[in-house]
Structure 1
Amino acid sequence: MPGVTAPADPRAAWALPALGELPRTADLEPLVTRVLAPNASGMTLDGTNTYVVGAPGSGQAVLVDPGPDDAAHLAAVEAALAARGARCAAVLVTHHHGDHSEAALPWGAHFGAP
């Protein structure tokens, strides 16, 4: 159509690391820490993003998309919780794909969280 242009995509200006260079753990916001699971693939790219979400000083956090049931990943998530001085209050999944949900039940049991 004449005179119609696509809007600019703000993601084009983001300074993102190249594939394979994401840090394993990153504080994204005061409320959110991302822990990258060690399951890199064509579908997960650098790995599944697991999020530790909680208000600083609250003593609790929610895990979102725990990812694979992997001992090293669990240790990294436990370290992120400890850095926040928080316990896991709940484990949530955004959808049923195994790379997001595999650890939900075992980690819920591990942390004593729904």
Structure 2
Amino acid sequence: MKRSLLAVALGAAGVGGIVVASTALAEPVPAAAKNQPFFANAHWDDDFDERRRFGPMRVPNVDAVKRAGIVDVVEIERDDGRLEVEGFDAQGREITLHMDRRGQRVLSVRRDRDWDD
């Protein structure tokens, strides 16, 4: 990650005429997600080290995400191989799901408790 940030900083500063294109900063939207409207507005966050270590990011199981209560997905992030899906329920409360590496099983659900009716 430090190399990517340094390369971006050098590229942004125009040091030595270097032009940097970093895949670490690009959104790694899986091809299968592009055909699913449920994930249309989601931000996909996966860095180069995660992709190199675990392969391409998987698309979470839509039915599992909906059963957990998410109606609007905001971000899908990979952390140590596992997927973290952040979004909102029908009442507008924040929900964070931790899913297995394949995105098929919900391991934990955390709901925002600071929300007032």
Same fold (TM over 0.5): no
Q: Compute the TM-score of the two structures, normalised by the length of structure 1.
A: 0.30
Q: Compute the TM-score of the two structures, normalised by the length of structure 2.
A: 0.30
